[in-house]
Copies of this chain bind each other. A is one copy, B any other.
Amino acid sequence: MVTLEDVARHAGVSLATASRVLNGSTRQVGASLRARVEQAAQQLGYRTNVAAQTLARGASNVVGLVVHDLTDPYFAALADGAMRVAEDQGLMVMVATTHRDPEREIAYVATLNAQRVRAVLLAGSRIANPGVTRRLREELDRYRATGGRIACVGQDLLGADTVAPGNAEGAAELARALAGLGHRRFAVLAGPPWLITAQDRVSGFTGALAELGLPAPQLVHGTFDRDGGYGAAAEVTDATCVFAVNDVMAVGALASFRDRGIRVPEDVSVAGFDDIATLRDLVPSLTTVRLPLSDMGARALELALDPSEEAREPRVERVSGEVVLRGSTRGLTPEG
């Protein structure tokens, strides 16, 4: 294992000089010494020991990213955006997946704190559980207390900088668009009752329907994934339009209807939420609410890294979804 000291000796300079040329010091070093050091490092195959550097500097070059599930394209897109800005800033990204276990989320925050990462990004819906949320906040506070920076993508519940998707607003706008198509009887594949993202989308949707004077939709709960959509769709009775609270669930719903010989959109319309890129070529193409996922991930990391955050209120940036009407929903004549 070749160390800085080896390089310095090989180049015939002091440790300090070697350090200055090899690592981003602002200090200047004479051209000839600089060249000697660089050559020595090259010859010896020197690689900075980041652990030592982190210890000496008291700050690391790593950020942490906590997501539920990387195979969910929603999180993959967020992660991609965050990694883009990390690369731009010369930071490495440590990724942790919780698989929707809030205990693991808390544990990972502690671990990332131990790693002394520069910032941690919490992506994904909060859950409606005060005890868990409190303990997560405590862990985050501990991290923050030592200079850690935090940003979230999702609900603004953690007292940290947040990129907050307009779930309720987007769902409301979707409801209005669907109602504009002539639909009156709706069902909502609502996901788990405790997932706040799901809650918000449901309430935004039902709220808009109520404002329009339309009957309340049928609510069917289930998991937040493809199978949740598939299962919930089977329980829908008497609706001309089904809103799945995310695209992946909508895909499950589509499959469920297909398996039962129910045509979309002829027999029933289906809409989702998120506008997952990988799913854009679905047939019928999915009506949904587009969220700029990658940019949201990028923006969240920017917020977390932005140093102008001394002793002030957490910043909350709302990003609104855009309704995209596609082939999975159709217009109804007044007769239905």
Q: Which of B60, B94, B278 contacts A279 (CB 8 A)?
A: B278
Q: Which of B51, B77, B97 contacts A80 (CB 8 A)?
A: B97
Are the C-beta atoms of B92 and A111 separated by less than 8 Å? yes
Which chain B residues border A70 with CB–CB below 8 Å? 70, 76, 79-80, 83
Are the C-beta atoms of B94 and A142 separated by less than 8 Å? no
Q: Tell yes or no: A258 within 8 A of B by CB.
A: yes
16 extra interchain contacts, Cβ-Cβ under 8 A, other than A45-B145, A71-B278, A282-B282? A1-B146, A47-B142, A47-B146, A49-B55, A49-B114, A49-B116, A50-B115, A51-B116, A70-B70, A71-B277, A76-B76, A87-B97, A252-B281, A258-B283, A281-B282, A283-B283
Interface residues of A in 76-106 (CB under 8 A from B): 76-77, 79-80, 83, 87, 92-97
Q: Shortest beta-carbon distance, A66 to chain B, in Å?
A: 11
Known: A71-B77, A92-B115, A111-B92. A45 touches B281 (CB 8 A): no
For A50, A110, A111, A283, the residue with the greatest tally of chain B CB atoms inside 10 Å of its CB is: A50
Q: Which residue of B lies closest to A54 (CB)?
A: B51
Q: Which of B49, B79, B92, B226 contacts A281 (CB 8 A)?
A: B226
Q: Shortest beta-carbon distance, A91 to chain B, in Å?
A: 10
Are the C-beta atoms of B47 and A110 separated by less than 8 Å? yes
Complex: A279 Cα to B282 Cα, angstroms: 9
Are the C-beta atoms of A142 and B97 separated by less than 8 Å? no
Q: Tell yes or no: A62 within 8 A of B by CB.
A: yes
Can you list 9 A-B contacts (CB < 8 A)?
A45-B142, A51-B55, A70-B70, A70-B83, A71-B277, A92-B115, A95-B95, A226-B281, A248-B278
**A→B interface (CB under 8 Å):** 1, 45, 47-52, 54-55, 60, 62, 69-71, 73, 76-77, 79-80, 83, 87, 92-97, 110-111, 113-116, 142, 145-147, 226, 248, 251-252, 254-255, 258, 277-279, 281-283, 294
Are the C-beta atoms of B113 and A47 separated by less than 8 Å? yes
Q: Which of B93, B97, B146, B281 contacts A255 (CB 8 A)?
A: B281
Which chain B residues border A281 with CB–CB below 8 Å? 226, 251-252, 254-255, 282
Known: A111-B92, A252-B281. A71 touches B71 (CB 8 A): no
- Top 8 nearest A-B pairs by Cβ distance? A51-B54, A255-B281, A51-B55, A48-B114, A95-B95, A47-B114, A50-B115, A71-B80
Q: Shortest beta-carbon distance, A121 to chain B, in Å?
A: 13
Which chain B residues border A294 with CB–CB below 8 Å? 71
Q: Shortest beta-carbon distance, A92 to chain B, in Å?
A: 5
Complex: A296 Cα to B258 Cα, angstroms: 32
Complex: A62 Cα to B54 Cα, angstroms: 15
Which chain B residues border A77 with CB–CB below 8 Å? 71
Are the C-beta atoms of A50 and B114 separated by less than 8 Å? yes
Which chain B residues border A45 with CB–CB below 8 Å? 142, 145
